[in-house]
Amino acid sequence: MSAADERLPTIPEIDPDDQPHPGAEVAELATLDLAGWPQGTRAICRREDPHPGAQLSFTDADGHRFQVYITDQPDPDITALELRHRRCARVKDRIRCGKATGLRNLPFDLLCRNQAWLELVLAAQDLTCWAQTLLLDDDLQVVEPKTLGYRLWLSPPGWSATPAASSSGCSAPGPGPPRWLLRLPACEPCRCAANRSALPRVSRREAPT
């Protein structure tokens, strides 16, 4: 926020219950040059006091934390616009999960290699999101990637997979995609329960109820 924008009138931020949020204010950056953006684009800035113990960054001026977002919605009530944007916290959740999946650091020194790494991480995140949506129940639908990896993805000793027998009784490949049998040990009920619930849905392409 520039010095000119610091003089803009601010409005107290509101919570979902229409009560003022302590230590947070909202202002529209009317002096920001948006000539290169589509007509009707607006910049809304949120300024808040960091919670005790928060680590400030170089963009946190004068002890305040700033967040700016772009919108083309014409609603004159900028507090309602800001609240609508803040409720989309699932976007931040996906960013955090993306970092946990491999986006936190780019491991290579060449752009083309890092581009390939980025595509792999995005594919892994897509597969994880769809697996949680279509195959898993209860808390496994919302757990973090690290927890999901420990409880579901990692294969401990004792797990084994063998080709499933065909209708003729042999395991030779037949028409259609190959089918496999996954044998789960009884000593790990946490992982086994999740897999026993999810794997039949993979076979039947059935979504959880």
What is the model's pTM?
0.47
* Residue 196 near residue 136 (C-beta atoms within 8 A): no
**Residue 188 and residue 138 in one domain:** yes
Rounded Cα distance between 110 and 106, Å, is 10
Tell me which residue range forms the domain holding 139: 92-161+181-204
Q: Residue 152 falls within a domain, yes or no? A: yes
Q: Residue 174 falls within a domain, yes or no? A: no
Segment holding 121, helix H or strand E? helix 111-134
Segment holding 68, helix H or strand E? strand 65-71
Total domains present in the chain: 2
- Show which of 88, 109, 133 is a domain's final residue: 88
Burial classification of residue 173, based on how many CB atoms lie within 10 Å of its CB (0-12 exposed, 13-18 middle, 19 or more buried) = exposed
**Residue 80 and residue 96 in one domain:** no
* Residue 133 near residue 165 (C-beta atoms within 8 A): no
**Residue 66 and residue 103 in one domain:** no
pLDDT, tens digit only, all 209 positions of the chain? 444 445 667 888 888 788 888 888 898 888 888 888 999 899 988 888 877 777 777 667 777 788 888 889 888 888 888 888 887 767 778 888 888 888 888 889 999 999 999 999 999 999 888 888 888 877 788 888 888 887 777 755 555 556 655 554 444 555 555 666 656 555 555 555 555 555 555 555 444 45
**Residue 18 and residue 84 in one domain:** yes
